[in-house]
């Protein structure tokens, strides 16, 4: 039975694969076309494999600046979230299961809140404090968005450490700080790296907060890309090339850290 | 005895590790939220020098505002259509994926890329592909004898385009959740049904769907909530246009807050959105509880 129907299944799987990946081929193709070819009507499917667009965006100053801003922001937000998140998860490691459910509900409810409800007060307060359009402000805002998710995945990881290990290190006279630094963190290293990559990706991809909270100095590459679509400061193949560059972290995380990615994106309904 | 007390103290002193995150969250979520509520009761705007307490006037105005009602309708249409299509497609894909029994991580990774990709990059690409004169999509459908479609030019077409792109973006999300649920079903149940002569639709309806129902609902709830707050797709594809035809509620709040700097009114709108989301999710979560027993 299973084998009789599997040609239908293969077709379904293939069609979905084609539909979900075709736009990316088109994007990469566009980035490899020369300017006159992009504008051509009817559109040409096969690019002429020119790297002019990539060369010109790499040399562009505003592109360099916004890429750096995005990188620094994502790194800063990740470091902040991982630091606060590992510490909090360590404190919550022995949480009773009832409290654990409450904690999960709190995390889930933070997902309910529309981002505008958080960003609007931040926007007003940041203006008053003068940290509007600074990397610091953006790092803080991104961390607010990420911290619940990061802490929650880390807590799941830490709770998987056998309690014997923790008890043994306690009996051996380790202080809490030592248990944290020498036992818990090293044992969870691979998960922490996974969560950090996910958090980097989400901050790097983030558009809404960056659009609201930055205007020039701290502008991220996502906002620059968005603005360029309207103002035609860049050509279409340059925009496509920028998009391809912007997608690099996605490719890295999808191929190396699928487990944390699935956990994070589906908010724990799937353990990955 | 002494040792035990020491151990308890140690566990308690671990709570100190909670201090940084607590301070962080108090300062950056609780305080802004309280601030939001207070602002929503004022006429605060960047354009006027003084701020006055106006009570519930903003809320009253919202409910009389035709723009607000229209934006709710837009949000509802986009959410209802795109989420139903996503769930149907996600289910079809998850069933077929489990039938071919290939758990290739590479294949799953390729499905994941749309939702893990930077929204600005993918949406810019879609806008470019949907362009009416030089877009690839109109070129492809011209071979089917369909003449040039103005994908983003009229209200109906712009809504259809938004729903289409949202479906492309988020079907993988439903797929991932359902596919995990399906892989946890005991295969012997399915083999027994197949031996009994049950056809593929019969197996899907009588075995798969009832067994994965809780996950189906979780996927539905998360998608409804996210879709009701969706911003990026509208902002990049249509900017709420043509006119205000595709301005969802979340988009409208953004406009009022960040472009017109009407902080008081926008805060009240944000609170209304928050309440709507809370009510909907409360209702849906209760459904999950009933099903899980």
Task: Please give the residue range of the domain that contains residue B162.
Answer: 66-292
Q: Using the predicted structure, report yes or no on whether residue B292 has a pLDDT greater than 90.
A: no
CB contact under 8 A, B258 and A212: yes
Distance CA B103, CA B108 (A): 8
Select the residue from A4, A82, A107, A117 to test the B interface by mutation, using most B Cβ atoms within 10 A. A117
* B79 vs A36: which has the higher pLDDT: B79
Using a pLDDT cut of 90, give the percent of chain B over it: 44
The mean per-residue pLDDT over the stretch B262-277 comes to 93
Residue B61 belongs to a domain: no
Give residue A1's pLDDT: 47
Residue A73 has what pLDDT? 97
Domain total for chain B?
Answer: 1
- What lies within 8 Å, CB to CB, of B216 at 6+ separation is B87, B91, B178, B181, B209
Interface subset of B 75-104, CB within 8 angstroms of A: 89, 92-93, 95-97, 99-100
Contacting residues of A for B214, CB less than 8 Å apart: none
**Residue ranges in chain A modelled with pLDDT below 50:** 1-3, 272
Residue A102: what pLDDT? Answer: 77
Structural domain includes residue B20: no
- In DSSP terms, B53 is beta-bridged to B42
User: What are the respective helix, strand and coil percentages of chain A, to the nearest 5?
Assistant: 80, 0, 20
Does residue B111 form part of some domain? yes
B163 in a structural domain? yes
Residue B260 touches partner A, C-beta closer than 8 Å: no
Q: Is the pLDDT of residue B6 over 80?
A: no
Whether residue B39 lies inside any domain: the answer is no
Is A195 in contact with A82 (CB distance < 8 Å)? yes
User: Sign of the C-alpha dihedral, residues A17, A18, A21, A25?
Assistant: positive
Residue B1's pLDDT is 44
CATH number of the domain encompassing residue B73? 1.10.3720.10
- Specify the pLDDT at position B8: 59
- Asked if residue B206 belongs to a domain, the reply is yes
- pLDDT of B207 reads 84
Task: Decide if B212 is inside a domain.
Answer: yes
Chain B residues with beta carbon closer than 8 angstroms to that of A261? 112, 116
- Asked whether B240 and B257 are in contact (CB, 8 A), the reply is no
A147 CB neighbours in chain B (<8 A) are 21, 24-25
Top pLDDT among B150 and A106 is at B150
Q: Say what the pLDDT of residue B293 is.
A: 43
Distance CA B81, CA B159 (A): 10
B42 DSSP β-pair partners: B53
Packing angle, helices B31-40 and A115-129, rounded to 10: 90
Mean of the per-residue pLDDT values for chain B?
87
Q: Has residue B14 been placed in a domain? A: no
Better pLDDT: B180 or B9:
B180
Query: Cβ(A151)–Cβ(B264) under 8 Å?
Result: no
In whole angstroms, give the CA distance from residue B222 to residue B214. 12
State the DSSP code for A43: P
pLDDT score at A189: 92
Q: Tens of pLDDT along B167-183?
A: 999 999 999 899 888 88
**Positive or negative, the Cα torsion across A23, B131, B175, A19?**
negative
Q: What is the pLDDT of residues A4-28, one digit of tens each?
A: 557 888 899 899 999 999 999 999 9
Which domains are seen in chain A, by residue range?
A: 61-233 (1.10.3720.10)
Higher-pLDDT residue of B155 and B206 is B155
């Amino acid at each position: 039975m299973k084998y009789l129907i599997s040609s239908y299944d293969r077709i379904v799987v293939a069609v979905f694969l084609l539909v979900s990946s075709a736009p990316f081929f088109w994007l990469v193709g566009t980035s490899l076309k020369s300017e006159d070819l992009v504008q051509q009507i009817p559109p040409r499917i096969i690019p002429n494999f020119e790297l002019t667009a990539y060369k010109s965006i790499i040399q562009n100053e505003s592109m360099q600046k916004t890429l750096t801003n995005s990188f620094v922001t994502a790194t800063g937000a990740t470091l902040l979230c991982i630091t606060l998140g590992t510490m909090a998860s360590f404190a919550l490691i022995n949480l009773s299961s009832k409290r654990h459910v409450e904690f999960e509900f709190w995390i889930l409810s933070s997902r309910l809140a529309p981002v505008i409800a958080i960003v609007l007060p931040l926007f007003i307060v940041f203006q008053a404090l003068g940290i509007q359009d600074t990397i610091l402000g953006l790092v803080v805002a991104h961390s607010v968005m990420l911290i619940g998710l990061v802490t929650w995945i880390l807590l799941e990881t830490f709770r998987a450490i056998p309690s014997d290990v923790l008890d043994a290190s306690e009996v051996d006279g380790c202080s809490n700080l030592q248990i944290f630094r020498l036992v818990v963190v090293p044992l969870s290293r691979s998960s922490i790296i996974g969560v950090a990559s996910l958090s980097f990706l989400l901050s790097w991809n983030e558009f809404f907060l960056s659009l609201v909270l930055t205007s020039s100095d701290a502008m991220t590459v996502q906002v620059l890309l968005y603005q360029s679509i309207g103002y035609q400061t860049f050509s279409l193949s340059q925009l496509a090339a920028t998009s391809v560059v912007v997608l690099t972290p996605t490719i890295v995380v999808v191929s190396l850290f699928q487990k944390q990615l699935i956990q994070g994106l589906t908010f724990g309904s799937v353990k990955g | 005895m002494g040792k035990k007390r020491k151990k308890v103290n140690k566990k308690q002193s671990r709570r100190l590790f909670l201090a940084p995150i607590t301070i962080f969250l108090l300062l950056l979520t609780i305080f802004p939220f309280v601030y939001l509520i207070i602002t929503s009761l004022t006429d605060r705007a960047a354009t006027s020098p003084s701020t006055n307490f106006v009570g519930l006037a903003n809320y009253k105005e919202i409910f009389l505002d035709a723009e607000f009602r229209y934006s709710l309708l837009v949000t509802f249409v986009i959410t209802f259509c795109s989420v139903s299509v996503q769930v149907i497609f996600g289910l079809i894909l998850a069933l077929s994926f489990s039938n071919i029994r290939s758990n290739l991580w590479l294949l799953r990774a390729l499905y994941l890329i749309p939702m893990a990709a930077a929204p600005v990059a993918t949406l810019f690409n879609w806008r470019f592909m949907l362009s009416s004169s030089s877009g690839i999509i109109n070129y492809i459908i011209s071979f089917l004898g369909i003449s040039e479609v103005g994908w983003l030019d009229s209200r109906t077409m712009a809504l259809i385009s938004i729903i289409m792109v949202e479906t492309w973006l988020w079907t993988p999300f439903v797929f991932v959740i359902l596919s995990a649920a399906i892989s946890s079903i005991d295969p012997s149940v399915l083999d027994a049904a197949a031996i009994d002569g049950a056809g593929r639709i019969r197996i899907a309806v009588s075995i798969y769907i009832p067994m994965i129902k809780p996950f189906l609902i979780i996927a539905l709830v998360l998608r409804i909530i996210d879709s009701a707050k969706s911003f990026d797709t509208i902002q990049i594809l249509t900017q709420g246009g043509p006119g205000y035809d595709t301005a969802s509620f979340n988009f409208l709040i953004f406009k009022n807050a960040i472009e017109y700097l009407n902080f008081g009114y926008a805060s009240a709108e944000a609170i209304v959105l928050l309440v709507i989301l809370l009510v909907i999710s409360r209702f849906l979560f209760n459904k999950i509880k009933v099903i899980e027993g």
